[in-house]
Amino acid sequence: MNLFADIRELVVAELQGLMAAGVLPAGLDLAAVAVEPPRDAGHGEMATNAAMVLAKPAGMQPRAIADALAARLMADPRVAGADVAGPGFLNLRLEPAAWQGLVRAVLEQGTAFGRSQLGAGRKVNVEFVSANPTGPMHVAHARGAVVGDALAALLAFAGYQVTREYYINDGGGQVAVLARSAYERYREAHGLSPEIAEGLYPGDYLIPVGQALKDKYGSSLLDQPESVWLADVRVFSTDMMMAMIREDLAALGVEMDVYSSEKALYGTGQIEAALERLRKLDLIYQGVLEPPKGKAPEDWEPREQTLFRSTAFGDDQDRPVQKSDGAWTYFAPDIAYHYNKVQRGFDELINIFGADHSGYVKRLKAVVSALSENRVTLDIKLIQLVKLLKGGQIVKMSKRAGTFVTLRDLIEEVGPDVVRFVMLTRKNDVALDFDFDKVTEQSKDNPVFYVQYANARINSILRKARDAGLDVSDASLSQAHLAHLGHEAELEVIRKLGEWPRLVEIAAKGHEPHRVAFYLYELASDFHGLWNKGNDDDSLRFIQGDTAISAAKIALVRAVGVVICAGLGILGVTPVEEMR
């Protein structure tokens, strides 16, 4: 049940009635007509811009349209008032019964309340994390992991068919570096001193890999040339790294549907096939790039390479798919990978990337639209940095200094729920401060706590009500006489609940899961406010002498709890029953 959508349908129907009656010219486009909560509560409960957006195409005064529309809307039993205001807004007030029915809908539908058919079953692929399989996940990956996972959940809630996918970069040079690093640990496991040369990965996490290599291969790889062991060790160690990354993801509550391998694309002809297709579109050619402007590298030599014509899509440079030695660049298998996603029948692709990949956006979008003949859209969400703060100090992270904070460290310190919620308290394209002191603080300043506290308080009230002899099952509460929820303060909270289905669609359309976190904070705030009004006005307390009245009020409390749980469910945060 989406009351805003229902009322918009009503408005559209009445506008069509006005067209049929000849009051408005026929054939007006009603797509821009919106029904929204007004910014200022003083302007009624819902507002429509219909008169203003139609004034020009209809060649009429906004006022005249609004008056005619208002008269027709008033005939609907849900509408209690329709006033023309401002430049031509039509402000609507609904009968309390319409709002009260919303509480019943929440209790009947449970956490399915707010589900939408917006996606209409369209297939969406969300590719996220895709951390290189060369070490454990660290905080920078955590934000992308959380945003991707929450976005996937949000889209599923909004009626899309969602696939969560991880692209394993196991084809490039860095996994060879991993293999060489692991080999040194393998030597170490045999009591030899490892030679961790410049450029190798020094992390301790490779010591168990060396041990495992020893367990599997014994001493057979010792004193052998790289050509003998490299391929095997590379597979072995990337598998171990991926196992570790999967554990990290599981600790964060993220479960992928598909793991795709870059390496698996090599030697299958898929890269060649994708490039051939682009070549037919005249998007692949042999050429020589200009040297980068501004800085003139001394070692620049013009070389002929295989290039992708991304300048045709607004990029500032064509991009090489082959290195000067003929090997593929990272871009080539990525083209094949995205072609593969297109061929798997996805209608929309979403990639969650770190902000350092911003230069990569145009060429990838170009590839997807070219390879799908504009059928498939690719949206790339760039995730900005996370700045860690502890005791007011920035925690400097450096792999070399060994001071980088792993995802596991973070989860062990504050728990997965806090990590997930905090990572969603900013939109993706803004840098985020993760303050260890703040996120565990129990105050309104900490949104995680504040929302959890609302839920805990709701559970506390339900317990008290049960102790007072009330049947607090949803089945029973949904039968409560909700006309008792007539106080303005109560209706205000109900209106907030009414925004939930609308918010789900807005957030899903914009691929903006952070909106859910902000909504929950607002809902929690409204609820705490209502709770406190009971201190001044006894009639607003939830548990009353009259059982019927109590049941109605508890129904509202429970409905708020249901929506909070639904929202937290999308964010992947476990609702707490009790604060400790």
Distances (CA, A) of 425 to 440, 479, 526: 15, 37, 18
Distances (CA, A) of 183 to 82, 202, 219, 245, 558: 76, 12, 12, 20, 58
Torsion of CA 576, 577, 578, 580, to 10 degrees: -30
Which position among 358, 403, 473, 539 is part of the footprint of RNA (CB under 7 A)?
358
Can residue 144 be called a binding residue for RNA (CB under 7 A)?
Answer: no
Can residue 117 be called a binding residue for RNA (CB under 7 A)?
Answer: no
User: Footprint of RNA on residues 337-356 (CB under 7 A)?
Assistant: 355-356
User: Footprint of RNA on residues 426-455 (CB under 7 A)?
Assistant: 426-427, 429-433, 442-445, 449-450, 453
Which position among 110, 218, 287, 359 is part of the footprint of RNA (CB under 7 A)?
359
Min separation Cβ 462 and RNA, Å: 9
Can residue 218 be called a binding residue for RNA (CB under 7 A)?
Answer: no
Segment near RNA (CB under 7 A); pick from 244-252, 314-322, 343-351, 367-375:
314-322
Collapse the DSSP code of 514 into the 3-class scheme (helix H, G, I; strand E, B; otherwise coil) and give the result. helix
Query: 145 vs 221, which CB is nearer to RNA?
Result: 145
d(CA 416, CA 423): 11
Can residue 211 be called a binding residue for RNA (CB under 7 A)?
Answer: no
Can residue 395 be called a binding residue for RNA (CB under 7 A)?
Answer: no
Can residue 496 be called a binding residue for RNA (CB under 7 A)?
Answer: no
Token pair 């080539």: residue = 332
CB 48 within 8 A of CB 11: yes
Can residue 220 be called a binding residue for RNA (CB under 7 A)?
Answer: no
Return all residues near 70 (Cβ < 8 A) that are at least 6 apart: 82, 83, 84, 90
Q: Which residue, among 305, 302, 321, 304, has the nearest Cα to 363 in the 3D structure?
A: 321
Token pair 């792993």: residue = 406
Collapse the DSSP code of 553 into the 3-class scheme (helix H, G, I; strand E, B; otherwise coil) and give the result. helix
Which position among 415, 533, 569, 574 is part of the footprint of RNA (CB under 7 A)?
533
Segment near RNA (CB under 7 A); pick from 11-19, 141-149, 276-284, 513-521:
513-521
Can residue 512 be called a binding residue for RNA (CB under 7 A)?
Answer: yes
Q: How many CB atoms lie within 10 A of CB 241?
A: 24
Query: 220 vs 259, which CB is nearer to RNA?
Result: 259
Token pair 């500032």: residue = 316
Can residue 365 be called a binding residue for RNA (CB under 7 A)?
Answer: no
CB 461 within 8 A of CB 511: no
Can residue 71 be called a binding residue for RNA (CB under 7 A)?
Answer: no
Can residue 174 be called a binding residue for RNA (CB under 7 A)?
Answer: yes
Segment near RNA (CB under 7 A); pick from 46-54, 149-157, 367-375, 396-404:
46-54
φ and ψ at 392, to 5 degrees?
80, 0
Can residue 510 be called a binding residue for RNA (CB under 7 A)?
Answer: yes
Can residue 246 be called a binding residue for RNA (CB under 7 A)?
Answer: no
Min separation Cβ 423 and RNA, Å: 12
Can residue 384 be called a binding residue for RNA (CB under 7 A)?
Answer: yes
Which position among 96, 135, 320, 513 is part of the footprint of RNA (CB under 7 A)?
320
